[in-house]
Structure 1
């Protein structure tokens, strides 16, 4: 088998987190007098670093974006973090990958602190050999930076690893680190978005990930 290390995105790949994230964004925007009623319009915030999204979609400058992130966390820490659920069959997938003696690592732009809380809440922490996210001070927030940190800290050869995620940022981060990638279509990124970044594989379901990992 080619891969020894399986890196997973969290939001849109392991958990269905739209409600908590979009309500947190909605809460933050309201602090600036911006009212967005439809949570669907805020789904684009799932995946990329928050401060970049506030800047890109609402034109916030650096300081305003950082302030918005703090408001986001006000809601997320109290409510949003639990407005979340695990995708069907994820635990079956993780069990089978562990039975194959593979090393599983969370690589997310979400802060490590929150990622740990979420995975503990769903009793998924024991399946992962490491949980790596961004820092609370806003550093190491792009997917490329997170993956680079994982590879360096755990001395992983990129040829032996694959990044699994639902957004283009996962594919881009993998490519920046010379790593294979699997784009999943059940998350928050469209098939077109994923294909535009030329992932190594496309998985159409949770258990299809197992097929792509083990066919090597």
Structure 2
């Protein structure tokens, strides 16, 4: 069984994240960082508060976080997501001989499933795991989602493919083989620190592996 994180490995969400950031700041009279400056900061795990400080918009932080939660998964911004190059081919190939499960920390299930249908991705996954819980650490949420799912399925020898230290650490706690993808929301430096089983540039490389 292979667990796939959605945002990063399968979908390029960088434009959506930047658009939400830039719209909130612009609408409140602040200048923004360039997309590359913003995305590099996100990939280095710079906090939203510090990103706003770099944008000279520190006092906006509470309003910014409130507005971010309201719009980050809304239709006008989800339209900026795009499939990573080769993602469909990878899912098509792997789903022929493996059970694929999607694991994501998206908080709005209806929006999530609508987007999966729009990209015609649902057919590749036997299950879609998500949670609207926001009061406990993301690692704990992701770990619990997978653990509870496996308690029912009772399947061993699993793999998790993700682009953050959260994905890799959750997988290691569960005894999975962990594959970190470099073209998502975390930098190579942070992914190396998470010490995954394998570190690849993009999910395209999975087709060259025997998994």
TM-score normalised to structure 1 length: 0.76
The reply to whether residue 145 of structure 1 matches residue 141 of structure 2 is yes
Indicate the RMSD between aligned Cα atoms, in angstroms.
Answer: 3.1
CA separation of 1:109 and 1:140: change in aligned 2, threshold 3 A: farther
Change in Cα spacing, 1:174 to 1:29, as seen in structure 2 (3 Å) is: farther
Aligned CA distance change for structure 1 residues 103 and 171 (closer, same or farther; 3 Å):
same
Q: Does 1:54 align with 2:51?
A: no
CA distance in 2 between partners of 1:118 and 1:46 (Å): 24
Contact 1:28–1:71 (CA<8 Å) still a contact in 2?
yes
1:3-152 equivalences in 2 (<5 Å): 5-29=1-25, 34-43=30-39, 44-45=41-42, 53-55=47-49, 57-58=51-52, 68-72=64-68, 73-74=70-71, 76-100=73-97, 102-113=98-109, 114-135=111-132, 138-139=134-135, 142-152=138-148
- Give the corresponding residue for 1:172: 169
Aligned partners of 2:13, 2:77: CA distance in 1, in Å?
A: 9
Give the aligned partner of residue 185 of structure 1.
Answer: 182
Alignment of 1:147-162 (within 5 A): 147-155=143-151, 156=153, 159-162=156-159
1:69 to 1:47, Cα distance in 2 relative to 1, 3 A: farther
Conservation of the 8 A alpha-carbon contact between 1:21 and 1:46? no
Structure 1 gaps of 5+ residues are none
> By how many angstroms is 1:94 displaced?
1.0
Q: Alpha carbons of 1:192 and 1:206: their partners in 2 closer, same or farther (altered >3 Å)?
A: same
Q: Secondary structure at the match of 2:2?
A: strand
Alpha-carbon offset, residue 55 of structure 1: 4.9
Q: List runs of 5+ in structure 2 lacking aligned partners.
A: 54-60
Normalising by structure 2, we get a TM-score of 0.78
Q: Name the SS for the 1:110 alignment partner.
A: coil
Match of 2:194 in 1: 197
CA displacement 1:40-75 (0-9 Å, x = unmatched):
233244798xxx94356558xxxx65x534412336
1:159–1:180 contact (8 Å) kept in structure 2: no
